[in-house]
Amino acid sequence: MEYRRLGTSGLKVPALSFGAGTFGGQGPLFGAWGNTDAREARRLVDICLDAGITMFDTADVYSSGASEEVLGEAIKGRRDQVIVSTKTGLPMGDGPGDAGSSRSRLITACEDALRRLGTDYIDLFQLHAFDAGTPIEEVLSTLDDLVRAGKVRYLGISNFSGWQAMKSLASAERYGHPRYAAHQVYYSLIGRDYEWELMPLGLDQGLGALVWSPLGWGRLTGKVRRGQPLPASSRLHHTADYGPPVEDEHLYRVVDALDEIAQETGKSIPQIAINWLLHRPTVSSVIIGARNENQLRQNLGAVGWTLTPDQMAKLDAASGKTAPYPYFPYQRQEGFARLNPPAVAPPPTAQPASRTRGHGPSRRIDPQRC
- Going by DSSP bridges, is the β-strand pair 55-57/83-88 parallel, antiparallel, or unpaired? parallel
First to last CA, the chain: 23
Please give the DSSP secondary-structure letter assigned to residue 214. T
Q: Between vectors from CA 365 to CA 362 and to CA 370, what angle results, nearest 5°? A: 140
Annotated catalytic residue 62: yes
Phi, psi angles (nearest 5°) of residue 310: -65, -40
User: How far, in Å, CA of 200 to CA of 207, rounded?
Assistant: 10
How crowded is residue 80: how many other Cβ atoms within 10 Å of its Cβ? Answer: 6
**Residue 135: closest CA among 107, 162, 101, 98:** 101
Q: Which residues, listed in sequence order, are joined to residue 185 by a DSSP beta bridge?
A: 211
What's the maximum distance between 2 C-alpha atoms anywhere in the chain? 65
Convert the pLDDT of each residue in 5-14 to its tens digit.
999 999 999 9
DSSP reduced 3-state for 319: helix
- Going by DSSP bridges, is the β-strand pair 12-14/152-158 parallel, antiparallel, or unpaired? unpaired
For residue 346, give the amino acid letter.
Answer: P
Name the strand (E) or helix (H) holding 239: helix 236-239
Contact, 149 vs 185, CB < 8 A? no
For residue 137, give the amino acid letter.
Answer: E
Convert the pLDDT of each residue in 288-302 to its tens digit.
999 899 999 999 999
- List the pLDDT tens digit at each of the 370 positions of the chain: 999 999 999 999 999 999 999 999 776 666 566 678 999 999 999 999 999 999 999 999 999 999 999 999 999 999 999 999 999 999 999 998 899 999 999 999 999 999 999 999 999 999 999 999 999 999 999 999 999 999 999 999 999 999 999 999 999 999 999 999 999 999 999 999 999 999 999 999 999 999 999 999 688 998 878 877 766 666 654 555 666 788 999 999 999 999 999 999 999 999 999 999 999 999 999 999 998 999 999 999 999 999 999 999 999 999 999 999 999 888 888 765 666 555 544 444 433 333 334 433 334 445 544 4
Contact, 53 vs 84, CB < 8 A? no
Burial grade of 139 (CB within 10 A; 0-12, 13-18, 19 or more): buried
**Residue 181: closest CA among 18, 10, 58, 54:** 10
Considering 62, 154, 186, 194, which one is annotated as catalytic?
62
Residue 218: partners with Cβ closer than 8 Å, 6 or more residues away: 234, 235, 236, 239, 243
User: How far, in Å, CA of 240 to CA of 273, rounded?
Assistant: 19
- Strands (E) in 107-173, as ranges, are 122-127, 152-158
Contact, 364 vs 330, CB < 8 A? yes
CA 182 to chain centre: 9
Contact, 192 vs 319, CB < 8 A? yes
